[in-house]
Structure 1
């Protein structure tokens, strides 16, 4: 989507704030012993409270309101009867629609006692996403985002998963521009258009470069013993940089 009016931007800000609030509520609700289905129900209730519809179920028939992935799973995890345990590394992905507008956000969290390696991985994910956001500017090459992310990942000595990319959003959960690399890809020739709406969502890892299907048709996981963390925001590109939509109001 390309934002053309102030009303469109305000609608995107609204759904962006809703998914951000939902993610934050789910994060503070994390505790050992709860099931991922119970955590998902918290997210579903919060979205419904604000008149938003879960995007994965709406767009793809996903069997849950949110994606909850417990390491070694890193993405598209299906909520179920798995109980969270101390030390688990959990990725929560919240995307939703309201009034025909979509936003997408997510982050990884570790339950105490937190492994030092997981703490470093989560910090690297935040830093990598921030680097990607700072590279956004209308007219700049899309590859500048991946180059900035990879530079930060190298600085922190973590790897990047290279078969999970960012994507356009706004009027649909996934739309053009598709498959935006969050790693340095010199063959990428597209440019960032003014008003373009898309996600920035690098997965930093302990070294693995590819996620694999886990066998349920949805969940993606890393081969043992690797782990990954992610932070995701939806942004709008402007001449002055990125407007981050997925921040709580």
Structure 2
């Protein structure tokens, strides 16, 4: 999507705030012994209260309001009767639609008490997201996003998941620019345009480079020996910077 009017921008800001606040609501609500479905239902009620509809449910008929992935599950985890345990690494991905506009955000969290190595993985993944956002502006080569993500990951001894990436968003959940690699793809000659609405979502891992699909045809996993984290924002590309749409309200 290219933002062309003030109404477009306001619509995107509104749904961006809803998904950002929903993500934080779910993160604050999770506790050991809760099932991922119970956590998902809390998110679904939050979206409904704010007049929004689940993006993956609306667009892909996903069997849940939100994607919730545990430990070796990297993305698109289906909410179920799996119980959240102390020390789990959990990823929550919230995307939704409101008045014809979509926004998408996600984050990885540790269920206390956590391990120092898991916290370091989360910290580096946030750094990778920040580094990628810092280069966003009109006419920037799109592959600079992946360059920054890969650079931060490598400098800290991590890998990036190569078959998951960022994407355009706005009037649908996934749109142009399609797949934005989390590594430096030298063959990608595209450039960001002023008004582009995109996500940036690095997937940083302790050693995995690719994910595989589980038999449920949704959940994407890496080897059980690896941990992977993800953080995601939706944003509008401006002339000189990125305008982040998915910043939550202060607690």
> TM-score over 0.5 for the alignment?
yes
Cross-structure match for 2:113: 113
Distance 1:209 1:239 in 2: 33
Structure 1 residue runs of 5 or longer lacking an equivalent are none
Cross-structure match for 1:178: 178
Cross-structure match for 2:30: 30
Q: Which moved more, 1:154-163 or 1:83-92?
A: 154-163
User: How far did residue 112 of structure 1 move?
Assistant: 1.3
The within-5 A match list for 1:39-50 is: 39-50=39-50
The within-5 A match list for 1:28-177 is: 28-177=28-177
State the Cα deviation string for residues 189-220 of structure 1 (Å, max 9, x = none).
Answer: 00000000010001000011001112111000
Are 1:212 and 1:223, in contact at CA under 8 Å, matched by a contact in 2? no
Q: Which moved more, 1:111-120 or 1:12-21?
A: 111-120
State the Cα deviation string for residues 121-175 of structure 1 (Å, max 9, x = none).
Answer: 1111111111111110101100111111111112222110000011101000001
Structure 2 residue runs of 5 or longer lacking an equivalent are none
Runs of 4+ in structure 1 off by over 6 angstroms are none
TM-score normalised by length of structure 2? 0.98
User: How far did residue 4 of structure 1 move?
Assistant: 0.4
Cross-structure match for 1:245: 245
Question: Secondary structure, in 3 states, of the residue corresponding to 1:105?
Answer: strand
Distance 2:185 2:128 in 1: 16
Root mean square deviation, CA, Å = 0.7
User: How far did residue 7 of structure 1 move?
Assistant: 1.2
Cross-structure match for 1:222: 222
Distance 1:140 1:3 in 2: 17
Distance 2:189 2:71 in 1: 34
